[in-house]
Chain A
Amino acid sequence: MAWFGLQRNTFARGIHPPELKSTQGEPIRRLDFAPRLILPLNQHIGKPALPRVRKHQEVVRGEPIASADGFFSAPLHAPATGVIEDITLMPSARGPKALSIVLKVYAADDQRVRYGQERDLAPLNPSQLIAAIQDTGMVGLGGAAFPTHVKLAVPEGSQVDTLVINGCECEPFLTTDHRVMLEWADDLLAGIDYVRRACGAQRVLIGIEDNKWDAAARIAGRLPPGADIAVRTVRSKYPQGSEKLLITVLTGREVPSGGFPHQVGCVVQNAATVASLGRLLPRTQGMIERVVTISGPGIAKPGNYLLPLGTPMDYVLDRLGFRGAAGEIIVGGPMMGQAVASLDVPVTKAVSGILALTADTLAQQQAGQLYPCIHCGRCLQACPLHLNPMQLGLLAAAREYAAMADNYHLQDCFECGSCSYTCPANIPLVQYFRIAKAMLREQGAA
């Protein structure tokens, strides 16, 4: 039976992929600057940023190089001191080439951040705070890349009482949020204060999966007395980090289909996002680097690295020792991340991981021979939204896309991939659903 709110510290269904978080003990380290940084202007959901530099212009580290195009957009800052080599189309992880600023790094520079100044944020009101957050260029670092300030601007008519900090990091391999919560705990608490004031929430719930108990304990031990902030451990299960599922687990509220968290009085922010705001806002600086888990069987020196935005995959693989002649390079996690088609693809704001799977491990860990669907129902037991992936898959194979949307709630699927992961017939269910959605989008546009 579908009782979404009554599960203790978890949601019904979901899957337990291997955690593979071998880098969880690796402290955050810096990697040298790549000689060229590639900075796409569309690193976030919304309108692409507008370049404010020209070719051959010199920039200093931290200087704004592209401004937000309206409210639903985010600015971009120079991740290194150097010179603008070009503004041109470059490969992106999503596939189509994206307009990007190419920055040649000055190798001789000491690369100190020379931009920004200390300030006191106490007197700022919510709208000033939201503007300040937009100026940092911060987006959701968990992978969605939704501009942070847009989420915090609660629309007229909605009242937010709860700020949920998402420290689940349920994807296998990834350990960036884990390390950030451990090492930047004070920045996280500072950021929580700014973000809570910006959205007007009274209560803060920090949801952390129980495989990161050390991070939960560290934060719980530093909570300021009297503040309405609680650390809540949730069971380690994929996809616990899904915004809507986390809200339901922590508050018992259910976000309506097609709706937003603010409709049930919640705002959700990723832990690393908030911790980064805690570092950047008091110094009036912009986002120029992020922590990335670089791991997988193809990487000789896996770890958690603080990488300048724009660092190309090629450079990362070179420095950390890629083994093998063939493989799959994934940006993000193995469940929802994208395989890249070019090693020029750079680290962008939403890249939480770079994973290198080698040819021999691919054969063992990926879907094998295709069988006919045997109606085992494992996909129904996996789907966290209680969809019927089996029926959706049968309809997709018959190209009945409209029936998928009308009768089986195709549009609710957020493509976590649990169905494909679990299918013993190796049917690419979620991949079918992506195609179905794209076909429906096209038909709708036509």
Chain B
Amino acid sequence: MTRRNLLLHLRSSPHLHAPLDVARIMRQVLYALLPLCALAVYLFGLSALLLLITVVLSCVLSEYLLQRAGALPGSLADGSALVSGVLLALTLPPGFPLWMGAVAGAVAMLLGKALFGGLGHNIFNPALLGRAFVQAAFPGAITSWQPALVPERFTTPFAGTLAWPLQQPAADAISGATPLGQFKFDHADTALQTLLLGTHAGSLGETSTLLILLCGLYLALRGMLNWRIPLAVLLGAGASAWLFHLYDPGAYPTPAFVLGSGGLMLGAWFMATDPVGAPVTPRAIWLFGGLIGVLTVIIRLFGALPEGVMYAILLGNALAPGLDQLTPPRVYGHSRSRP
């Protein structure tokens, strides 16, 4: 019998693998964020573009330096730093000084990621942690909003954008107010159409509810995010807003306004769904999402700030491991076990 010269590979089964890996997931998320970036640049012009570039560069460079220093395992090739950078930029106001954006990016990678042990261990969403840092450090700059569609937006950046490092930005000649701010402080409603299209003041990527929904649905249909999380967030927020509105329609906004305004849509589809900070068991996922939705509404209605998505998600991240522990799935052939 012929003895062939055959190099035999030996592996333990399974011998097939799904055509999906972490880098591909990150790439898909990035693709889904691109339309939001494009819209941000269209609405807010040069300032938005510069801020996006600065924050992304800051995140990628910080991750690279931290990896070089041995403080962060992994590689840039997985794309997670890029995704964090884009997400972080999309949560910042358009006139935010670039140097502050760079600080936010560096903090996101250092405190949000490296400190916890890198990709897979960053239990808090790094982008949101970076934003929470600048919210505390620069309360003025992060709450000064610019109106959308200013005619000279493509030629002159907003005054704050080019502020020198360690300088507070000069007061802007024109300034806008977000729909949430208008409601909280002036009790003024915003048309639903404006909320859907996003032609109002707000963070770079949070304004167009419709576009976020479309981009999020794309990811959900590709199986790149767990659709139950955004659904639970929106259900939790919608249901609690509806109850408040039912109790006193004069004082509390409609559910449609709550769902369409602020960063809720962006947070529900792109932040709460960051798998590292989300739970995994089926019941914990619904609890997690619902909790974020309810907390957002409570912070918005009763807190000092008009917006509460960021803190709601960070709180949800902190609770996620506990929720998993509380809700072990029933295993085939076993009766339901107590946690």
Interface residues of A (CB under 8 A from B): 1-2, 4, 15, 17-18, 35-36, 172, 244-245, 248, 254-259, 312, 314-315, 317-318, 322, 325-330, 332, 334-343, 355, 357, 359, 362, 364-369, 371-377, 380, 384-388, 390, 409, 412, 415, 417, 420-422, 424-426, 428, 430-431, 434
Which residues of the other chain, A, contact B191 by a CB distance below 8 angstroms?
Answer: none
Contact present for A426 and B331 (CB under 8 Å): no
Given A318-B2, A343-B4, answer yes or no on A335-B13 (Cβ-Cβ < 8 Å): yes
Contact present for B7 and A244 (CB under 8 Å): no
Residue B338 at the chain A interface, CB threshold 8 Å: no
Contact present for B14 and A385 (CB under 8 Å): no
Given contacts A317-B4, A386-B330, A431-B12, 19 further A-B contacts (CB under 8 A): A244-B332, A244-B333, A314-B2, A315-B1, A328-B10, A330-B15, A343-B6, A365-B17, A371-B22, A372-B73, A372-B121, A374-B25, A376-B226, A376-B275, A377-B285, A380-B280, A420-B17, A424-B20, A425-B120
Residue B171 at the chain A interface, CB threshold 8 Å: no
Q: Please report the C-alpha to C-alpha distance between residue A421 and residue B21 in the assembled complex, in whole angstroms.
A: 11
Contact present for A257 and B334 (CB under 8 Å): yes
User: Can you spell out 25 A-B residue pairs with CB atoms less than 8 angstroms apart?
Assistant: A18-B16, A245-B332, A257-B331, A314-B3, A318-B1, A327-B6, A328-B15, A329-B8, A337-B15, A339-B8, A343-B8, A357-B9, A368-B21, A373-B120, A374-B25, A375-B120, A385-B333, A412-B332, A421-B18, A422-B20, A424-B21, A425-B120, A426-B17, A431-B12, A434-B12
Q: Please report the C-alpha to C-alpha distance between residue A322 and residue B2 in the assembled complex, in whole angstroms.
A: 13
Mask, B101-136, CB within 8 Å of A = 1, is: 000000000000000001111000000000000000
Residue B67 at the chain A interface, CB threshold 8 Å: no
Contact present for A377 and B329 (CB under 8 Å): no
Which residues of the other chain, B, contact A357 by a CB distance below 8 angstroms?
Answer: 9, 15
Point out the residue from B2, B10, B275 that lies within 8 Å of A375, measured CB to CB: B275
Residue on B nearest A355 in the bound complex, by CB:
B15
- Which of the listed residues A332, A369, A372 has the most CB atoms from chain B within 10 Å of its own CB? A372
Which residues of the other chain, A, contact B119 by a CB distance below 8 angstroms?
Answer: 371-372, 374
Count of A-B residue pairs with CB < 8 Å:
193
Point out the residue from B6, B20, B285, B331 that lies within 8 Å of A409, measured CB to CB: B331
Residue B24 at the chain A interface, CB threshold 8 Å: yes
| Least Cβ–Cβ distance between A16 and chain B, in angstroms | 9
Number of interface residues of B (CB under 8 A): 50
Q: Please report the C-alpha to C-alpha distance between residue A339 and residue B333 in the assembled complex, in whole angstroms.
A: 31
Q: Please report the C-alpha to C-alpha distance between residue A123 and residue B330 in the assembled complex, in whole angstroms.
A: 47
Residue on A nearest B11 in the bound complex, by CB:
A339
Contact present for A256 and B333 (CB under 8 Å): yes
Contact present for B17 and A327 (CB under 8 Å): no
Residue B276 at the chain A interface, CB threshold 8 Å: yes
Residue on B nearest A365 in the bound complex, by CB:
B16
| Least Cβ–Cβ distance between B109 and chain A, in angstroms | 16
Residue B254 at the chain A interface, CB threshold 8 Å: no
Which residues of the other chain, B, contact A338 by a CB distance below 8 angstroms?
Answer: 13
| Least Cβ–Cβ distance between A262 and chain B, in angstroms | 14
Q: Please report the C-alpha to C-alpha distance between residue A3 and residue B179 in the assembled complex, in whole angstroms.
A: 44
Q: Please report the C-alpha to C-alpha distance between residue A147 and residue B155 in the assembled complex, in whole angstroms.
A: 81
Residue on A nearest B73 in the bound complex, by CB:
A372
Residue on B nearest A422 in the bound complex, by CB:
B18
Which residues of the other chain, A, contact B78 by a CB distance below 8 angstroms?
Answer: 371
Point out the residue from A315, A367, A377 that lies within 8 Å of B275, measured CB to CB: A377
Which residues of the other chain, A, contact B20 by a CB distance below 8 angstroms?
Answer: 422, 424
Residue on A nearest B320 in the bound complex, by CB:
A375
- Nearest 8 Cβ contacts at the A-B interface: A372-B120, A417-B14, A377-B280, A257-B333, A326-B7, A376-B275, A328-B9, A2-B330
